[in-house]
């Protein structure tokens, strides 16, 4: 029995189905992220966990107890939601103390707990300020402190960093991970940003159209996606459509421009995925060229230089393009330069 069990949850808003058969087992103490595009049902699932929305079907168990219809205030969950703002007229201290006052803690206990949690989010020095005297990142840390101060069983975060600029977002991601590590509380975070999800989470649930596509570690999502959607949404990818043809006892995947021998155990493969970093690139006029089981010729269509390397879009005959990284020691290759690209069978991810 997991700490939190989401069993076959459906949610309809009128005729519109926002969640369809969602099941997840969330281990105690884990950092889980719900990742998916806008409209995929992330906030709906979080609101159901918080108790703000009921389910249309299915159930939620917390440590074996059915909490599907339990009121939000009976759940002891901490919330950092979009638009779940700080109290503007209260100081940082009073904002964070609020959940403890509601729970009728003593003055001394409140003072001690608020001081400890403000230290944890590095806001100890700002406790007398009002929210409007804080930056966006600081306000989010106050919201986080307020959600954690009463030692919730579970912390629910709905895109807490989406309004912050990139640098602050990465800082707050690191802090959040550190706080999770120190407290050991179970965190469920929502984001549409796959980098954020991969950076912070023990496990990621990829959502699409109200369904869980895959629930896995970042590494498995990246190296072993079980659908085209996951391969495309998590990281950069090259996806080739094709057909599987048998060849005696063996089988081959036939795509536009190349063939690939499939391992014996492979079932009918409909697409292969190859990650950009698994593709080598060389100028067509370069002596050794690019080595690999599969070699293709093309021309540079576009390049993005980032100092340590360049990301290339390579135009292949037949009209499709391929993403790959190359060394940028001598600068990026110019558009129009003829190149050879190559990759190995072992690096191809097979989709069925």
Ligand X SMILES: Nc1ncnc2c1ncn2[C@@H]1O[C@H](COP(=O)(O)OP(=O)(O)O)[C@@H](O)[C@H]1O
Positions in the binding site for Mg ion (CB under 5 A): 43
Question: Least Å distance between CB 46 and Mg ion?
Answer: 8
Contact 147, 155 (CB under 8 A): yes
Which of the ranges 39-47, 93-101, 119-127, 303-311 carries the binding residues for ligand X, by CB under 6 A? 39-47
Site pattern 94..133 for ligand X (x: CB under 6 A): ----------------------------------------
Question: Least Å distance between CB 293 and Mg ion?
Answer: 43
Site pattern 12..31 for ligand X (x: CB under 6 A): -x--x-x-------------
Nearer to ligand X, 48 or 281 (CB): 48
* Contact status: 43 vs ligand X (CB under 6 A): yes
Question: Least Å distance between CB 169 and ligand X?
Answer: 18
Among 9, 31, 35, 41, binds ligand X (CB under 6 A): 41
Q: Which does 75 bind (CB under 5 to 8 A by kind): ligand X, Mg ion, none?
A: none
* Contact status: 191 vs ligand X (CB under 6 A): no
- What is the total count of residues that contact ligand X (CB under 6 A)? 11
Summarize as ranges the residues that interact with ligand X (CB under 6 A).
13, 16, 18, 36, 38-44
């Amino acid at each position: 029995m997991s700490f939190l069990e989401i069993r076959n949850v459906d949610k309809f808003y009128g005729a519109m189905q926002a969640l369809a058969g969602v099941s997840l087992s969330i281990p105690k103490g884990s950092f889980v992220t719900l990742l998916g595009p806008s409209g995929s049902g992330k906030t709906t699932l979080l609101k159901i966990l918080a108790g703000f929305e009921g389910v249309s079907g299915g159930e939620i168990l917390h440590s074996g107890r059915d909490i599907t219809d339990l009121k939000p205030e009976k759940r002891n969950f901490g919330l950092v939601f979009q638009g779940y703002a700080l109290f503007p007229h209260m100081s940082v201290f009073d904002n964070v103390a609020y959940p403890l006052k509601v729970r009728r803690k003593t003055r001394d206990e409140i003072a001690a707990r608020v001081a400890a949690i403000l230290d944890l989010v590095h806001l100890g020095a700002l406790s007398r300020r009002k929210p409007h005297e804080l930056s966006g990142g600081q306000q989010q840390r106050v919201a986080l402190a307020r959600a954690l101060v009463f030692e919730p069983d579970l912390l629910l975060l709905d895109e807490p960093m989406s309004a912050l600029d990139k640098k602050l977002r990465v800082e707050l991601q690191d802090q959040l991970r550190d706080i999770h590590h120190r407290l050991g509380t179970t965190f469920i975070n929502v984001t549409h940003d796959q980098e954020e999800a991969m950076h912070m989470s023990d496990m990621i649930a990829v959502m699409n159209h109200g369904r869980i596509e895959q629930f896995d570690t970042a590494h498995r999502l990246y190296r072993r996606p079980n659908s085209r959607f996951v391969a495309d949404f998590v990281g950069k990818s090259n996806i080739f459509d094709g057909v599987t043809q048998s060849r005696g006892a063996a089988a081959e995947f036939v795509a536009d421009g190349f063939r690939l021998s499939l391992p014996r155990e492979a079932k009918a493969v409909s697409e292969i995925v190859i990650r950009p970093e698994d593709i080598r690139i060389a100028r067509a006029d370069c002596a050794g060229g690019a080595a690999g089981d599969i070699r293709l010729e093309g021309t540079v269509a576009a390049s993005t230089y980032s100092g340590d390397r360049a990301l290339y879009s390579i135009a292949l005959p037949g009209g499709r393009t391929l993403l790959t990284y190359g060394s940028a020691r001598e600068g990026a290759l110019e558009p129009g330069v003829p190149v050879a690209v190559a990759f190995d069978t072992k690096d191809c991810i097979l989709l069925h």
